[in-house]
Chains A and B, each alone.
Chain A
Amino acid sequence: GENVEQHPSTLSVQEGDSAVIKCTYSDSASNYFPWYKQELGKRPQLIIDIRSNVGEKKDQRIAVTLNKTAKHFSLHITETQPEDSAVYFCAASTPSNTGKLIFGQGTTLQVKP
């Protein structure tokens, strides 16, 4: 089955700097790659997603890139702010009838003011 690896497990940046989180997946049939943000004590929420027919997607300060050949995708956050501090999870799913989402282990991002 699908396996998603996420790095780094923790990331600390200064406010205003950029942050990059990387994920790799094992199933070449996977075609949907979302990113979820989980603030302390809260439920995970979708922040951005990308499908395998595009290589990059942007939404204000966040962007996701996808390299299907290498089977990896990355989250980029620019001009980081303290409120970006949270745990970020990547995930992948296949186009089978299950559409099952498998998550990475998570990255704890700390943005220092």
Chain B
Amino acid sequence: GAGVSQSPSNKVTEKGKDVELRCDPISGHTALYWYRQRLGQGLEFLIYFQGNSAPDKSGLPSDRFSAERTGESVSTLTIQRTQQEDSAVYLCASSFTGSGANVLTFGAGSRLTVL
């Protein structure tokens, strides 16, 4: 597609349930990022995938959070046993590698509300 696609756009869940958020990056972009943005807050780094390298998981806040990426395509962010503090917009972004490679194109985000 022409841009980064994320689904669902909105998700309301009950505390303790698991959720999966999906990101479809721009074709040809080898780098993929997940960020969390709480209401009125900044962009909190969660995880980074770059080609076939091991992902950088240093931003994941707890072991309830995990993410996978299939090759250089779709990524899924999974949050297990959701808590109210997980409520946020989860933004996915992708970029090329190489010169000027760090220009990120963001998706519209998945807004997660945990009741």
List the interface of chain A (C-beta within 8 A of B).
1, 6, 32, 34, 36, 43-46, 49, 89, 91, 93, 97-106
Contacts and interface: CB of A to CB of B under 8 A. Distances in A.
A99 B42 contact: no
Contacts of A106: 41-43
B42 A89 contact: yes
A43 B42 contact: no
Q: Is the interface of B mostly helix, strand, loop or mixed?
A: loop
Contacts of B35: 103
B79 interface: no
B23 to A, nearest CB: 12
Nearest to A4: B42
Given A43-B106, A43-B107, A45-B106, A102 B101 contact: no
A43 B91 contact: yes
B103 A99 contact: no
A102 B104 CA distance: 12
B89 to A, nearest CB: 9
A49 B103 contact: yes
Contacts of A99: 31, 50, 95, 97, 101-102
A76 B65 CA distance: 37
18 contacts: A34-B103, A43-B91, A43-B107, A44-B43, A91-B43, A97-B50, A97-B53, A98-B50, A98-B56, A99-B50, A100-B33, A101-B33, A102-B45, A103-B42, A104-B42, A105-B41, A106-B41, A106-B43
A34 B106 CA distance: 14
B60 interface: no
A28 B49 CA distance: 23
